[in-house]
Amino acid sequence: MELVYNEIPREFLEVLPDGIKYIARHGKDFLVVESLCCPQGHSLMVDSVRIHGEPAVKIGVTIEGQKGSFFIDAFWGSHKKLCDFFPSAQGGALVDAFCPVCGTSLMVGDACSESGCGAAKHIQLLLPGEKNRILVCGRLGCPGHRLETQKASGQIIKKISDINFFGSQIDDFFGGI
């Protein structure tokens, strides 16, 4: 998949939360997640699987009774992901995500604001520090995702959360990091 360039607001780079780095590639700038953990503090980053050259985010998932792992592109807004199983579920199914190390659920009650989705749960990925986190809609195929950080203004957060790379249809399981 080609990385699609999205403009990163300059103001955001000044208040970049821990766990997200800014990189320039081919003269364009991107945000890349480099540190995420479960509520028990286990890292969700894996060096053994790389997407676009960066360590992927690994989460355990249960979808319609099937259990496996997703490896998600760490480039912010990318929809690229790999699985270690063949999901029979179609887009629209609800995902139950858990930490691949300790099995703690990553799901939190949080209604999706994308029109027509209606999912009541999000996958919560914790950034280093007390309050910063990324929330990804638990419905396959829904682009709903957002960043919550204390340092940036609501307007900047909205711009960042709206970044989506629609470069890949096949891997478009859920919008997210």
CB of 40 to Zn ion, least distance (A): 4
Q: Does 13 bind Zn ion (CB under 5 A)?
A: no
Residues 177, 45: contact at Cβ < 8 Å?
no
Strands 107-109 and 95-98: unpaired
Rg of the chain (C-alpha set): 15
Which string of x and - marks every residue 23-62 that binds Zn ion (by CB under 5 A)?
A: ---------------x-x-x--------------------
User: Site for Zn ion (CB under 5 A): which residue of 1, 16, 45, 101?
Assistant: 101
Q: Does 148 bind Zn ion (CB under 5 A)?
A: no
Number of H helices, E strands in the chain: 2, 11
* Cα–Cα distance for residue pair 50/72, rounded to 1 Å: 9
Which is nearer to Zn ion, 12 or 124 (by Cβ)?
Answer: 124
Phi/psi at 63 (nearest 5 deg)? -130, 120
Restricting to residues 61-90, which ones interact with Zn ion according to CB under 5 A?
none
Q: Which residues contact 70 (CB under 8 A, 6 or more apart)?
A: 58, 59, 61, 81, 82, 83, 97, 173
Which is nearer to Zn ion, 27 or 169 (by Cβ)?
Answer: 169
User: Site for Zn ion (CB under 5 A): which residue of 144, 149, 152, 160?
Assistant: 144
Q: Does 99 bind Zn ion (CB under 5 A)?
A: yes
Q: Which stretch binds Zn ion (CB under 5 A): 2-10, 46-54, 123-131, 135-143?
A: 135-143
CB of 136 to Zn ion, least distance (A): 9
Positive or negative: CA dihedral 57, 59, 142, 132: negative
Residues at the interface with Zn ion (CB under 5 A): 38, 40, 42, 99, 101-102, 104, 112, 114, 117, 119, 137, 139, 142, 144
